[in-house]
């Protein structure tokens, strides 16, 4: 399934800036950045549980915002993209 992760982390303190880096690092382990605070992650049900738990353990729910949009296969085909930075197809082999 495709999961869109978006977050808004308060960076007014050093702790907030650290949370922001940790949250981005967690997301990078599961998918690709498509905007500054938005990631697309292709995961199965077990990985979704780990992703959600990892993110919830990092955010400060009194200062930050986290959204997970879980899209089924029918919805994945309805995503439209315009402009630069066309997303990488996570199903294709990655050639370095």
CA dihedral 38, 79, 85, 51 (to 10 degrees): 30
Report the alpha-carbon distance of residue 57 to residue 47 in Å, rounded.
15
Q: Could you report the per-residue pLDDT of 51-76, keeping only the tens digit for each?
A: 999 999 999 999 999 999 998 777 76
What pLDDT shows up at residue 18?
97
Report the alpha-carbon distance of residue 77 to residue 63 in Å, rounded.
34
What pLDDT shows up at residue 63?
95
Q: Could you report the per-residue pLDDT of 1-30, keeping only the tens digit for each?
A: 899 999 999 999 999 999 999 999 999 999
pTM of the model: 0.81
DSSP β-ladder status, 65-71 and 2-8: antiparallel
What pLDDT shows up at residue 80?
74
The full set of domains in the chain, from first to last, is 2-73 (3.30.70.240)
Tokens encoding 25: 């690092």
């Amino acid at each position: 399934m495709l999961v869109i992760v978006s977050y808004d982390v308060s960076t007014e303190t050093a702790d907030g800036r650290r949370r922001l880096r940790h949250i981005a690092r967690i997301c990078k382990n599961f998918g690709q950045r498509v905007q500054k605070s938005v990631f697309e992650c292709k995961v199965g049900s077990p990985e979704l549980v780990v992703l959600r738990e990892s993110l919830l353990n990092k955010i400060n729910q009194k200062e930050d915002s986290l959204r997970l949009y879980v899209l089924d296969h029918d919805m994945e085909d309805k995503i439209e993209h315009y402009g630069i930075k066309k997303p990488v197809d996570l199903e294709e082999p990655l050639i370095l």
